[in-house]
Amino acid sequence: MSKKKKVVKGKDLWEQLDGYKDSLAETVEIKFGEVEGEITVVYRDINDIRKIESSFEDKFPEKPEVEFKGLGKIKLPSEDYPQFNDHEKAQEWQEKSEPVRNEKMARMAYEFISNDERPSEDPEEGTEILQDRLRFMDIVKIVNKGMELTGLNRQLDEARKNS
């Protein structure tokens, strides 16, 4: 037998939502060998996450331009012409970009971790610690949970396509 959800309407809804997003938090389990732990992931404002994403835009290497007959020069990899993304130049760009993507994900994970559980008060040092001590998929797990709390799941998918 399933419980029916009580739908709150009108003024009651606004009263119940007051301050609610600031209390949104969930834990992510980290299991690394014999070490098991939990990290509290909290809601963050979309503008804070966008600032982090935009701060990494200039760190990515310039996309190479490749000449294609009938199409002219195309920067690769390309969303408009994904059939060319297996081109050698596109693959080289992906390899050069990987460290920047990894650092960006770690910085976003740092932002989503509860302030009192962060590995350092300094974001750069904390990001380095996360990259050093966690597996990349643990970092992704933290970011995914943060995106879920923030409602940015779709934006994360777009960011992956663009990077």
Residue 116: CATH number of its domain:
3.30.2220
- pLDDT tens digits along 30-45: 998 899 999 999 999 9
- Could you tell me which residues come within 8 angstroms of residue 122 by beta carbon, excluding any fewer than 6 positions away? none
Considering only residues 160 and 12, tell me which one the structure prediction assigns the higher pLDDT.
12
Q: Which long-range contacts (CB under 8 A, 24 or more apart) does 33-42 make?
A: 39/113, 39/114, 39/117, 39/142, 40/113, 40/114, 40/117, 41/112, 41/113, 41/114, 41/142, 41/145, 41/146, 41/149, 42/112, 42/113, 42/114, 42/146, 42/149
Domain count across the chain? 1
Amino acid at 34: E
Predicted local confidence at residue 142, as pLDDT:
97
User: What phi and psi values does residue 159 have, to the nearest 5 degrees?
Assistant: -65, -40
pTM for the structure as a whole: 0.81
150 lies in a domain?
Answer: yes
7 lies in a domain?
Answer: no
20 lies in a domain?
Answer: no
36 lies in a domain?
Answer: yes
38 lies in a domain?
Answer: yes
- pLDDT tens digits along 99-156: 999 999 999 999 999 999 999 999 999 999 999 999 999 999 999 999 999 886 655 5
Give exposure, 125-150, as e/b (b: 16+ Cβ within 10 Å): ebbbbbbeebeeebbbbbbbbbbebb
Predicted local confidence at residue 15, as pLDDT:
86
- pLDDT tens digits along 44-94: 998 999 999 999 999 999 999 999 888 899 999 988 889 989 999 999 999
The residue range of the domain holding 108 is 25-60+97-162
